[in-house]
A and B are shown apart, each in its own frame.
Chain A
């Protein structure tokens, strides 16, 4: 069964600090991996999308990495801001299939 596991479940960081979120998956055959940000009460918004040939992709202060061999991805948030408080969801898609496999998300709380 295709699975996506994220860790930690939640974390609290001080404004200005960095943090890294983890995503492990067993989806096969792999097509691409996406990170979404979901603010409270809003729908998820795409941050990055990576194919198996891409190791790193950035979107402002967000940097995603992918190791397709170990089936691991991470999302690094640099110099966190209060607006980074949200749930971050790792999503993996299967080749030749419209279906996506969603992680349960990591809830990030940034405190002043």
Chain B
């Protein structure tokens, strides 16, 4: 089975801090994604990466950046955390095409 592992299940940070969320997948997938999930809203794509060192902005990239130095690892960075970035963050990976995206269990991030 595909396993997507997010480094933290719960995280509490302060406004203005630089925050790193880590994601690792073990299936040699080309594509990796970062989403945020808020109540009453569907998942919204923050950033997408289709190869090492390659990235594309999703629908809500403002306030975020990403890093993909190795194929199996995709990091989401909040440059200066703000309270409106309090959310559930989900990482996913896929081999592309018709294949479904496989999700991690999420990081619930609270910015105080």
Contact = CB atoms under 8 A, between A and B. Distances in A.
A43 B43 contact: no
A51 B97 CA distance: 12
A51 to B, nearest CB: 8
Contacts of B41: 104
Most B CB atoms within 10 A — which of A4, A51, A98, A99? A98
A105 B42 contact: yes
A34 B45 CA distance: 17
A44 B101 CA distance: 9
A58 to B, nearest CB: 16
Given A32-B98, A43-B90, A99 B103 contact: no
Interface secondary structure of B, over-half rule: loop
Interface in B69-104: 90, 92, 96, 98, 100-104
Interface of A: 4, 32, 34, 41-46, 49, 51, 89, 98-105
23 contacts: A4-B42, A41-B105, A43-B4, A43-B92, A43-B103, A44-B90, A44-B103, A46-B100, A46-B102, A49-B100, A51-B98, A89-B42, A89-B43, A98-B48, A98-B50, A100-B43, A100-B45, A100-B101, A102-B42, A102-B43, A102-B44, A104-B41, A105-B42
